Amino acid sequence: MLKAVFFDLDGTLLDTVPDIQACVNRALATFGHPPITYEQTCSFVGDGAKMLIERALPAGSSDLDACYDFFRREFAADSSARTRLYPDEMPVLQTLKARGLKLAVVTNKPQDAAQAVLSRFFPQGLFDFVGGDTSMFPCKPDPSLARYGALKLRVSPAECAFVGDGEPDARVARNAGMHGISVLWGYRSRAQLEGAGATVFAENFLQLQKILEKLS
């Protein structure tokens, strides 16, 4: 029986790439590097902020640590003016919550940035657990943070679904022993997700709700 739903953040709960791109490009400009495009940003996200900056920098750049620190400060303080919810998202999340499911977020985004952006778009108390990158656990697809979240929620991994738009999400679901659901409104194609082992797909939040209801 399903008792909890874990969500990825970027590309799953929020369309954050426009703000991520703006913050990355401010960091790159500060250190004299060329900007990246929207398409590049979409392909670079998903494996943590430091990997994002490493991919955005020219190969062999010595500015990785300084540029990463600058980006983290910029993104945590960003107004998120370009970030958007997805269609039907809030009613679906509220319905799931009302039906007694615990809702959680596990993201490779830095913890402070994750908490800041979630507080701007979602009511307090909607999510029962928020886990971001604090260097305490390895980033997804390592299952440690997802399993820790299940422990905090007092549910077994087998009673959880993991919902995400990226390859790390499909892999972390399998690695953690959770039901994996890959969403198609994010930053990866179905073919890319299938290549990571995904087998269950949702095209929108309403379809996701139906899939989760069948697991409950």
Residues annotated catalytic, as ranges: 8
- Strand, helix or coil for residue 179: strand
What's the first-to-final CA gap in the chain, in angstroms? 5
Contacts of 41 (CB under 8 A, 6+ apart): 17, 20, 21, 24, 56
- Helix, strand, coil percentages (3-state) for the chain, rounded to 5, are 50, 15, 35
* Paired sense of beta strands 102-110 and 201-202, if any: unpaired
**How many Å apart are CA 50 and CA 12, to the nearest integer?**
20
Cα angle at 26 between 25 and 29, to 5 degrees? 80
Q: Which long-range contacts (CB under 8 A, 24 or more apart) does 33-38 make?
A: 33/57, 33/58, 33/61, 33/63, 33/67, 34/58
Which of 34, 35, 44, 46 has its CA nearest to residue 8? 46
Torsional class of 38: left (φ above 0), alpha (ψ -120 to 50), beta (otherwise)? alpha
**How many Å apart are CA 36 and CA 52, to the nearest integer?**
11
